[in-house]
Chain A
């Protein structure tokens, strides 16, 4: 009955960001569906998760690392495999560097991206390689430098504007909404805005309310922009390259806690499709739609679910605007049940729009109402335990699936 907070604390501490032990951290390869046993068990008092609208359930398992999955020992040795291993922020950098090499019109603007190397090291080394005119350190003036990026894009340059934290881009909302999104339309097609606006967002580790914002919900109704969220090194690099090559303004959402994920990615060049969702785990019983960090919570819950005999299909929607209704629709037609797990707020988040889109288009195929697990409608608190309760935890996902599949 007693709440083992230390277990939860351990989960929080071991889970995301900071330094990873490369031997213990292996993401599931896109093709491998091996399920591994959980490392240890923590009991959860159901009152803790009272924010969700699930009925109280008895304690369930929660793996310590929300991101990592323990792979078999065999896959631990990586020397013989093709491709190269890197962390997510290095994948972003690789993608950016390749595009800057390929097209001299690509430039990077942001706070501390140049000499400092980027606050999350995404642009480290680029200023030395490309010079001060292509990797530009700006003063702290989001409204102005986002506007300048858009103005430069109007002439044909391809700037990549970095918001040090997505939340800071709220100061540039006017530029993003009116000038970035709408100029192609209001000029009758005269101007294209091939800009990429990227930055980390999402709930981090006790960063406080103002630095834990999820801006995808605020930007989602701006017409004319595309929004994508990356979640693995593989799709981070691919989406970064696709976003830079796209003629449309693209907002690339990264997550503060995912920068240190390690994965093996191919050596050869690849570009991903901006509008396509990623099938993480095919299944039969229920479709779980997710993106960014919640993908890892879902995969963790998936292991529990598989042990219990469920077969969830997990799709990382990646494209937040527009939704890849084709992949999602095919999945819904197969499983007839949908659970959306997201980090946005309950009110007006990506999940809310996705629920509406699926209901509108696939209502006949649904056997149960769509359930959407989102963060609580509260500013993210500083205290670690409270912060964990604002976002969706794997245990809640398991509970929700069990409820939906009754």
Chain B
């Protein structure tokens, strides 16, 4: 684990040589916070491991603006999840609430590597992915609290966030069922000749579902632009991956389909892998990405998260592999931001989240008539009246 730290400091030293000397000089006079778009190249901290394909380069093209946005977005996601934790404990959020803190790098890195025309579909741990796709904090909190202002008008809940216009297809409660849906999205993209791809995310627990292999088989046969992304946080609810999977090399499970194992706590590595995967999938068909990541919370709010793993393990990962800390060190090392600026950013983010929560609390609960809306969409036939054609039982 300490290797990573030294690699980081050594890479930052190397970077000073790669950074444009003019910019370096300019940096002393004016710190380029979120406005500088001059390219920087950063090395990922861990190498990629490939199966049946050539791995992408470890040098990632980025800009200071992008790095700062990574930090801000991940800090926002982290704060949002922690706020959701306290809202749940305060009984404002009920039912199931699956938190993503620790895994933010996957959501943020993926967004950086693709466009909003590409589709993302994931399972129930979707709050941060939704945010990354352009969802607002208000929509998130209102939906979690079951209010009208939520992204699904309060009728979906934590596990059913969707944003059609930015290509976010949910938000699915049944483990693994989103992968065939994702391959269907890829099929539609190929059918309509969109030149876009679909990222179908699932966890290490879902990786053992049969429907994944069925969908992968069909996608490879039809050469669909589908990218299956396994967010391997090493625990399928309470079962560790070595107890659930005979072969925990999820990136190799595609067999005939190529795979890539990525350090999922490094947003830049995720970005590189997703860019690579998009190019690959558009030319050759499906590819599997395995993101090696970790969740700090338990599986959901009803799971303390410490009965199947030790607290030392959790704090260990938090100290050494935390994605936000990694970007913070990178920013400080590259002298793109000062400690104080980053702390101010975090304070801003905290305020934003608090404001969104209070706004969401003011949002109305759905009207009782909403119980019957959107069961069907206005179909080709007539409205289904009650038996004597006087009272409308449901409008189809």
Please report the C-alpha to C-alpha distance between residue A185 and residue B214 in the assembled complex, in whole angstroms: 27
Interface string of B364-383 (1 = CB under 8 A from A): 00000000011111111110
Q: In the complex where A139-B218, A156-B188, A325-B387 touch, is A248 in contact with B177 (Cβ < 8 A)? A: no
Do residues B177 and A184 form an inter-chain contact, with CB atoms below 8 A?
no
Do residues A151 and B218 form an inter-chain contact, with CB atoms below 8 A?
no
Interface range on chain A (Cβ under 8 Å from partner): 35 or more
Q: Which residues of B are found within 8 Å of A384, using beta-carbon distances?
A: none
For the complex, is A312 an interface residue (Cβ under 8 Å from B)?
no
For the complex, is B76 an interface residue (Cβ under 8 Å from A)?
no
For the complex, is A125 an interface residue (Cβ under 8 Å from B)?
no
Number of A-B contacts (CB under 8 A): 180
For the complex, is B155 an interface residue (Cβ under 8 Å from A)?
yes
Do residues A248 and B217 form an inter-chain contact, with CB atoms below 8 A?
no
Q: Which residues of B are found within 8 Å of A361, using beta-carbon distances?
A: 386-387
Can you give 18 contacting A-B residue pairs, CB < 8 Å? Answer: A107-B191, A141-B215, A143-B180, A147-B184, A148-B180, A150-B180, A151-B184, A152-B187, A155-B188, A155-B189, A157-B191, A188-B154, A189-B377, A242-B381, A271-B380, A275-B382, A326-B389, A361-B387
Interface string of A186-216 (1 = CB under 8 A from B): 1111111000000000000000000000000
Please report the C-alpha to C-alpha distance between residue A139 and residue B210 in the assembled complex, in whole angstroms: 14
For the complex, is A347 an interface residue (Cβ under 8 Å from B)?
no
Please report the C-alpha to C-alpha distance between residue A189 and residue B150 in the assembled complex, in whole angstroms: 12
Q: Which residues of A are found within 8 Å of B222, using beta-carbon distances?
A: 136
Q: Which residues of B are found within 8 Å of A54, using beta-carbon distances?
A: none
Do residues A274 and B388 form an inter-chain contact, with CB atoms below 8 A?
no
Q: Which residues of B are found within 8 Å of A376, using beta-carbon distances?
A: none
Q: Which of A105, A148, A192, A274 contacts B381 (CB 8 A)?
A: A274
Please report the C-alpha to C-alpha distance between residue A144 and residue B184 in the assembled complex, in whole angstroms: 9
Please report the C-alpha to C-alpha distance between residue A174 and residue B209 in the assembled complex, in whole angstroms: 13
For the complex, is A338 an interface residue (Cβ under 8 Å from B)?
no
Q: Which residues of B are found within 8 Å of A184, using beta-carbon distances?
A: 374-377
Q: Which of B162, B211, B385 contacts A190 (CB 8 A)?
A: B162
Q: How many residues of B contact A (CB 8 A)?
A: 60
Minimum CB–CB distance for B179 against chain A, Å: 8
Q: Which residues of B are found within 8 Å of A147, using beta-carbon distances?
A: 177, 179-181, 183-184, 211, 215
Q: Which of B174, B191, B377, B380 contacts A192 (CB 8 A)?
A: B377
For the complex, is A317 an interface residue (Cβ under 8 Å from B)?
no
Q: In the complex where A187-B170, A190-B162 touch, is A148 in contact with B218 (Cβ < 8 A)? A: yes
For the complex, is B44 an interface residue (Cβ under 8 Å from A)?
no
Do residues B185 and A155 form an inter-chain contact, with CB atoms below 8 A?
yes
Do residues A223 and B375 form an inter-chain contact, with CB atoms below 8 A?
yes
Do residues B384 and A322 form an inter-chain contact, with CB atoms below 8 A?
yes
Q: Which residues of B are found within 8 Å of A175, using beta-carbon distances?
A: 177, 180-181
Do residues B187 and A148 form an inter-chain contact, with CB atoms below 8 A?
yes
Interface string of B158-189 (1 = CB under 8 A from A): 00101110000111111001011111110111
User: Which residue of B is nearest A156, CB measured?
Assistant: B188
For the complex, is A226 an interface residue (Cβ under 8 Å from B)?
yes
Do residues A151 and B153 form an inter-chain contact, with CB atoms below 8 A?
no
Q: In the complex where A136-B222, A174-B174, A189-B153 touch, is A143 in contact with B379 (Cβ < 8 A)? A: no
Please report the C-alpha to C-alpha distance between residue A145 and residue B174 in the assembled complex, in whole angstroms: 17
- The 10 A-B residue pairs whose C-beta atoms are closest, nearest first, are A151-B184, A147-B180, A144-B214, A141-B214, A148-B184, A151-B181, A188-B153, A188-B152, A155-B188, A186-B160
Do residues B184 and A150 form an inter-chain contact, with CB atoms below 8 A?
yes
Minimum CB–CB distance for A110 against chain B, Å: 12
Q: In the complex where A189-B153, A273-B382, A361-B386 touch, is A151 in contact with B162 (Cβ < 8 A)? A: no
Q: In the complex where A274-B379, A329-B388 touch, is A148 in contact with B164 (Cβ < 8 A)? A: no
Do residues B384 and A152 form an inter-chain contact, with CB atoms below 8 A?
no
Do residues B191 and A133 form an inter-chain contact, with CB atoms below 8 A?
yes
Chain A contacts with B in 274-291, Cβ cutoff 8 A: 274-276
Minimum CB–CB distance for B176 against chain A, Å: 9
